[in-house]
C-alpha cells in the first residue's frame, strides 16, 4: 500500500482562458490531516471539485489509493471511500438528524425496487442495520441528544457535525472539507475539531481541509499546503508557512492578511 492516499500530477483546469488550477502537483500522505490554504481565487475549491469528480479536468491526473480516478464522477468515488461534505440540502431540513444519516446512499437493497417488492424482509433487516449505524454515528459525534431533532433546527456548527457524520455512514477513507469551520462559533468549532481528530485517529480517515482560520489549521493540520494562482506555492508546517516570505507575499499581493484569519 502506497504511503500516499492521493497523488495529484500536473492537474489543470481552465475556465475559458483562465487557469483556475494550473499544473498542480500534490501528494497527500495516508493518515494525515492536510490543510490547504491560499488567498481567495487561488484555486482551492476548483481543486476539490476536480478531485471529487464534480468538474472535469483540462489536463493532468488524480490517483486515489493507487487507482487512476481522473475525471471519475463523484457517485463512483463515494463507494470507494473518497468523499467531500456537502451542506445539508434544503429538502432534508424536515428530516430528523437520525433520518438524515439514514438517507446517505449505501448498498441498501431498499433502494432497488425489485428487492423492496419481492424481499421486504431483507429490506427491513437492512433498514434496522442502517438505523443502528446511524445511532452509533450520532453517539460518536456527541449528537445523541439531538437524534430526533429536525436537521433544520440545528445550529450552523451542529449541521457541520452532521455533515461529517454522513461520511461515517459509508466508512470513508479520504474526506475533503471545504471551509467546514466557516461561520461556526468558537465552542462548536472546538467540537468539530475534536470530531475530525477522532475520525482521523480512531477511524483512520485522511482529511484534506481548506480552511481560513489559522488557529483551527494550526491545531489540526500537518502539513499545510499553500496554493497560489492554481498551484502549490509552499508545503510545510503551519508555523513555517506563517514565516515564509513567498507565502506572506502571496497574501499581501491579494490584500488579505495571514496572521489569524487568512
Which cell numbers in the block locate residue 117? Answer: 417488492
- Are the beta carbons of 228 and 38 closer than 8 angstroms? yes
CB of 23 to ligand ADP, least distance (A): 14
Q: How many residues bind ligand ADP (CB under 6 A)?
A: 11
Provide the H-helix boundaries in the chain: 44-51, 74-77, 97-102, 113-118, 120-140, 156-168, 186-202, 214-220, 238-243, 245-253
Q: Which of residues 28-47 bind ligand ADP (CB under 6 A)?
A: 38, 40-46
| Nearer Cβ to ligand ADP (40/153) | 40
Residue from 5, 6, 11, 20 in contact with ligand ADP (CB under 6 A): 20
| Nearer Cβ to Mg ion (45/167) | 45
CA 259 to chain centre: 24
Choose from ligand ADP, Mg ion, none: what does 86 bind? Cβ within 5-8 Å by kind.
none
CA 130, 136, 139, 141 torsion-angle sign: negative
Dihedral over alpha carbons 43, 69, 204, 48 (to 10 degrees): 10
Choose from ligand ADP, Mg ion, none: what does 20 bind? Cβ within 5-8 Å by kind.
ligand ADP
| Nearer Cβ to ligand ADP (43/193) | 43
Q: Which of residues 31-50 bind Mg ion (CB under 5 A)?
A: 44-45
What residues line the site for Mg ion (CB under 5 A)? 44-45
Amino acid at each position: 500500500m502506497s504511503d500516499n492516499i492521493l497523488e495529484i500530477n500536473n492537474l489543470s483546469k481552465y475556465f475559458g482562458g483562465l487557469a483556475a488550477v494550473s499544473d498542480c502537483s500534490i501528494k497527500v500522505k495516508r493518515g494525515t490531516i492536510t490543510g490547504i490554504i491560499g488567498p481567495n481565487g487561488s484555486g482551492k475549491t476548483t481543486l476539490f471539485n476536480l478531485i471529487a469528480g464534480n468538474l472535469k479536468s483540462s489536463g493532468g491526473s488524480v490517483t486515489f489509493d493507487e487507482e487512476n480516478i481522473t475525471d471519475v464522477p463523484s457517485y463512483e468515488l463515494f463507494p470507494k471511500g473518497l468523499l467531500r461534505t456537502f451542506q445539508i440540502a434544503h429538502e432534508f431540513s424536515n428530516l430528523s438528524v437520525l433520518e438524515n444519516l439514514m438517507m446517505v446512499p449505501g448498498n441498501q437493497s431498499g433502494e432497488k425496487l425489485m428487492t423492496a417488492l419481492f424481499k421486504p424482509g431483507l429490506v427491513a433487516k437492512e433498514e434496522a442495520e442502517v438505523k443502528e449505524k446511524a445511532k452509533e454515528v450520532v453517539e460518536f459525534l456527541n449528537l445523541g441528544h439531538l437524534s430526533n431533532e429536525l436537521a433544520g433546527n440545528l445550529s450552523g456548527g451542529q449541521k457541520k457535525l452532521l455533515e461529517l457524520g454522513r461520511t461515517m455512514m459509508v466508512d470513508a477513507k479520504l474526506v475533503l472539507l471545504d471551509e467546514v469551520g466557516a461561520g461556526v462559533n468558537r465552542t462548536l468549532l472546538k467540537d468539530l475539531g475534536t470530531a475530525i481528530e477522532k475520525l482521523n485517529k480512531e477511524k483512520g480517515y485522511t482529511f484534506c481541509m481548506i480552511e481560513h482560520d489559522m488557529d483551527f489549521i494550526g491545531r489540526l493540520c500537518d502539513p499545510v499546503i499553500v496554493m497560489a494562482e492554481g498551484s502549490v506555492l509552499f508545503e510545510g508546517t503551519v508555523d513555517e508557512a506563517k514565516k515564509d516570505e513567498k507565502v506572506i507575499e502571496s497574501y499581501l499581493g491579494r490584500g488579505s492578511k495571514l496572521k489569524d484569519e487568512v
